[in-house]
């Protein structure tokens, strides 16, 4: 009888261990599929950045994949630059869109930008804000650091934008 009880206890322990392992595998598989969307946060006590088309904080929950896109300038696919800030900005954003789409992403997946603008001024900020509103009409702007610079990598380049996006 003692051997019978020991055998049944061992079988019960093995069944419990198997059930626990299956639960962990099931849970981790489902967790991979249930990643949360990033949150864009503007905490009280800080300046409201929405009029300038950015958010103070972009929170990316664990389980998401970050995609880093290097600076995209206003050059066309053949390397040409026009001498107009808005046109270069639109081309820069179009280049960024191409890079995002190549990874199955969209502007709504962008959580952080770094924007470099040659000889930055209020008029260029206004143009940047207008173009940003076109891309993020819901005003869920990514975090953004705008840096005025004296020049960029290519002669005549007026703007360059790099991005961090989240693939869920």
Tens-digit pLDDT string for the chain (168 aa): 566 666 665 566 555 565 665 555 555 555 555 679 999 999 999 989 999 999 999 999 999 999 999 999 999 999 999 999 999 999 999 999 999 999 999 999 999 999 999 999 999 999 999 999 999 999 999 999 999 999 999 999 999 999 999 999
Q: Which CATH class is domain 39-167?
A: alpha beta
From the list 137, 156, 132, the residue with the least C-alpha distance to 54 is 132
Q: Tell me how far CA of residue 92 lies from CA of 30, 110, 142, 165, in angstroms.
A: 38, 15, 16, 16
Report the predicted TM-score, pTM, of the whole model to 2 decimal places. 0.76
Q: How far apart are CA 55 and CA 52, in angstroms?
A: 9
Residue 8's SS3 state is: helix
Q: How far apart are CA 77 and CA 54, in angstroms?
A: 28
Contact 55, 141 (CB under 8 A): yes
Domain ranges in the chain are: 1-34, 39-167
Contact 133, 53 (CB under 8 A): yes
């Amino acid at each position: 009888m003692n051997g019978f009880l020991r055998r049944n206890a061992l079988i019960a322990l093995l069944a419990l261990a198997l059930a626990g392992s299956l639960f962990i595998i099931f849970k981790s598989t489902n967790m991979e599929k249930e990643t949360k969307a990033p949150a864009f946060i503007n905490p009280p006590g800080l300046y409201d950045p929405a009029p300038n088309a950015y958010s103070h904080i972009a929170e990316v929950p664990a389980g998401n994949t970050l995609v880093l896109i290097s600076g995209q300038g206003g050059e066309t696919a053949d390397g040409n630059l026009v001498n107009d800030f808005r046109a270069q900005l639109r081309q820069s954003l179009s280049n960024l869109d191409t890079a995002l789409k190549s990874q199955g992403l969209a502007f709504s997946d962008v959580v952080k930008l770094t924007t470099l603008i040659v000889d930055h001024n209020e008029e260029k900020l206004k143009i940047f804000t207008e173009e940003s509103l076109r891309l993020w009409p819901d005003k869920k702007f990514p975090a953004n650091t705008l840096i005025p610079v004296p020049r960029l990598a290519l002669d005549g380049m007026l703007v360059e934008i790099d991005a961090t996006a989240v693939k869920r």
